[in-house]
Structure 1
Amino acid sequence: MMNKYEMIIHWSEEDQLFIAEVPELPGCMADGHSYQEAVSNAETIINEWIETAKNLGRTIPKPKGKLMYA
């Protein structure tokens, strides 16, 4: 499944890991020792987040693409 949710990826000095956050899916984030690993892990977590939401009968936000920040 191809995910179209925006990911924000940053380096965490505290954790010494890349962090990938998915703002459109509350609480959805992953980490990795490399940028690529963080993205790959986030793709897995996005699928798990969606599957869990379906199982619980919750609404799944539609991907909006690039978010606008002030």
Structure 2
Amino acid sequence: MRIYASGEAQRLNAPGEFLSPNPLGRVVGVIDLGSNNGSNDFGWCGLKAVIDFEGEEFVLDFPEFTRI
């Protein structure tokens, strides 16, 4: 099964660089950003999806759209 999602996403290897516009990316994993949004460079906390879009990985905050 393949899951695709879109929404506000930041580049995994360069936090602060956002994916725009919000195209569908394939969900390739999850990342645990901890319980404090100040403890990482993304400014987010909790479990987040990691999506692949055109060979680049992005951390997805809240999915706006999903497709299975």
- Normalised by the length of structure 2, the TM-score is 0.26
Q: Which of the pair has more CA radius of gyration?
A: 1
Q: Greater RCO between the two (CA within 8 Å, min separation 6)?
A: 2
Which has the larger share of strand?
Answer: 2
Which has the larger share of helix?
Answer: 1
- Normalised by the length of structure 1, the TM-score is 0.25
